[in-house]
Amino acid sequence: MSNDVFQTVLYLPSQAAAETEATIVKWLVGEGEAFTKGQQLAEVESAKSTFEFEAPCDGTVKSLLVAEGATTPFEEPVISIETADQSLKQEIPSAAAAPAAVETPKMDIPPVSTGSSAVTGKRVCMLGIGSYLPERVVSNRELLVEHTDINEEYIFGVTGIRERRWAKPEQKPSDMAYEASKIAIERSGLKPSDIDCIIVSTATPDVVMPSTACILQEKLGLRGAPAFDLNAACSGWVYGLTVAKGLISSGIANNVLVTGVEMQSRLLDKKDRNTYFLFGDGAGATVLSGTHDGHLIKNEILSADPAGIKMARREFPGFEVPQNSGEVDPWIRLDGRALFRFATESFSAMIRELIIKSGWQPEDVRWVVPHQANGRILKAAAQKSGVPFERFYLNIDKVGNTSSASVPIALAEIERGLQKKDQIVFCTVGAGITVAGISIEW
């Protein structure tokens, strides 16, 4: 190899023809570090595969052009290097020939419709927040009894989770929903009798019928108010807020209890690493009101895309797996890689659009409270959202993925630290694929 050192850039190796982009999961080299031909430079994920990005030559890292957690097209360079390997001049344009190619790429944020930032219709506010987590703490170490070839730090690195809460054998989803709901009603300053509608978001109901909302209604001692379940998977609670706002705006209800509850610990296949370490149990609730002042709901986004209908699924209803489920797969199943890319793009686009529609600036957002799906997904979403990652509130390390209960549980944790006029964004992605977001002025 010649001693004539020059600067150039490297691209990710192309994968299947249908693949257009990939995510840098982790860089294994840093600026100024030397590397050798064949050395692994980064861990990379695309929609259909996980692969190693290996050095095609000896060289030194000048700069990393794509941040960890960021998604980049295959046609864009990801790393700038210095090398004396003359063969690289034939394969990739050098820095001297194309100086713009080694500049750090700008974040690719597609434009969104500004819509209207004005609050229309009846003023609808959020009042009290309540949450419930089961007492039992389940650590990664406890679950690793089933997987002795990996360790606790590996699980934390892949998921961002160190522990989660699992319900007792005698508990049902409605029990957890009741505990969160009574706290929310109490903190709202209302009496249970003031609640004139109940919405429960859940993919794990007590029974197929009656609805868990009706069971909750009985536990609360209410009669006469409409009550129904809503299933939008992990997006369910935010979907529920939007439905409640519509009921209030139309005059059907004044004070609506919206509760998200999930009991997923009994639906996990111990052999399936895509799901076994992710999920926890819990419930979160709030009251929306059109007659009492509180935290103003500004804008909302609801969407669903059946193109991702197989990315997250469960074929059997309920919160338990029966002894005989026949030929039906009773467990929660995820296509992790496809979900990673879809969720990253959906979270970031939703945050940007809600900020614009609310008439805010990214730097003014106090908190983004996302669905606690996966630590790496949320870090990647922050890269593209325009809001610094430190303003994303994460509690996934302690509670895991509690599906539709995750946003209200997280909100209950930060409620005491919030101040009047704080700007907050909720964002969720769930099976369906469902997408939902809300902006709130505290």
- Would residue 234 show up in a list of annotated catalytic residues for this protein? yes
Query: CA 99, CA 114: separation in Å to the nearest integer?
Result: 35
Cβ atoms of residues 92 and 11 within 8 Å: yes
What are residue 440's DSSP bridge partners?
297, 424
337: amino acid identity, one letter: R
Query: CA 259, CA 199: separation in Å to the nearest integer?
Result: 6
Nearest to 340 by CA among 379, 368, 309, 369: 379
Query: CA 61, CA 374: separation in Å to the nearest integer?
Result: 30
Query: CA 278, CA 199: separation in Å to the nearest integer?
Result: 26
Find the DSSP H helices in 250-374: 336-357
Selected catalytic residue, list 57, 197, 371, 374: 371
Q: Please, is 186 exposed, middle or buried when counting C-beta atoms within 10 Å of its C-beta (0-12, 13-18, 19+)?
A: middle
Where does residue 224 fall: left (phi above 0), alpha (psi -120 to 50 degrees), or beta otherwise? left
- Would residue 374 show up in a list of annotated catalytic residues for this protein? no
Of the chain, the end-to-end C-alpha distance in Å amounts to: 63
∠398-411-399 over CA atoms, to 5°? 15
What are residue 279's DSSP bridge partners?
401
What are residue 259's DSSP bridge partners?
200, 285
- Would residue 274 show up in a list of annotated catalytic residues for this protein? no
Selected catalytic residue, list 231, 255, 374, 401: 401
The DSSP bridge pattern shows strands 197-201 and 163-166 to be unpaired
Please tell me what DSSP assigns to residue 57. S
Selected catalytic residue, list 57, 125, 197, 234: 234
Active-site positions read 234, 371, 401
